[in-house]
């Protein structure tokens, strides 16, 4: 399955990488690698993570306080949000999957 990030999810990812890199050199890269590991787990076992809302699942990162919210579509896994676990819950609910 192909993984597709919605525009806003990609921006959230980029913003978090930039934030962590500004905090400590190399931390942004570590965050990026942790996201890649989570995406690999999702691809391998797309229905292993719990449902958050309707058909949206959540995969929490191990080393950072972020959750990947995603939907399993016919041919793609769509990452809807790269959400910080302690900020604005459910802000992503109105995002549309193309």
Residue-wise pLDDT for 37-88, tens only, equals 999 999 999 999 999 999 999 999 999 999 999 999 999 999 999 999 998 8
Q: Note the pTM of the prediction, 2 decimals.
A: 0.92
Instruction: Decide if 93 is inside a domain.
Output: no
Let me know: does 35 contact 13? Beta carbons within 8 Å.
Answer: yes
> Among 14-28, 33-47, 80-94, where is mean pLDDT lowest?
80-94
Residue 97 covered by a domain: no
How many domains in the chain?
1
Q: In this structure, what are the phi and psi dihedrals at residue 45, rounded to the nearest 5 degrees?
A: -135, 70
Q: Please report which confidence band the pLDDT of residue 95 belongs to, taking 50, 70 and 90 as the band edges.
A: confident
CATH number where 54 lies: 3.30.2310.20
Predicted pLDDT at 89: 77
Q: Which domain holds residue 17?
A: 2-84
């Amino acid at each position: 399955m192909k993984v597709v990030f919605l525009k806003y999810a990609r921006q959230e990812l980029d913003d978090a990488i930039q934030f962590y890199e500004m905090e400590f050199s190399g931390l942004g890269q570590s965050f990026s690698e942790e996201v890649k590991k989570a995406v690999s787990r999702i691809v391998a076992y797309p229905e292993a993570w719990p449902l958050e809302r309707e058909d949206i699942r959540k995969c929490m990162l191990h080393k950072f306080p972020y959750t990947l919210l995603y939907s399993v579509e016919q041919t793609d896994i769509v990452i809807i949000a790269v959400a910080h676990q302690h900020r604005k819950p459910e802000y992503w609910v109105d995002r549309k999957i193309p």
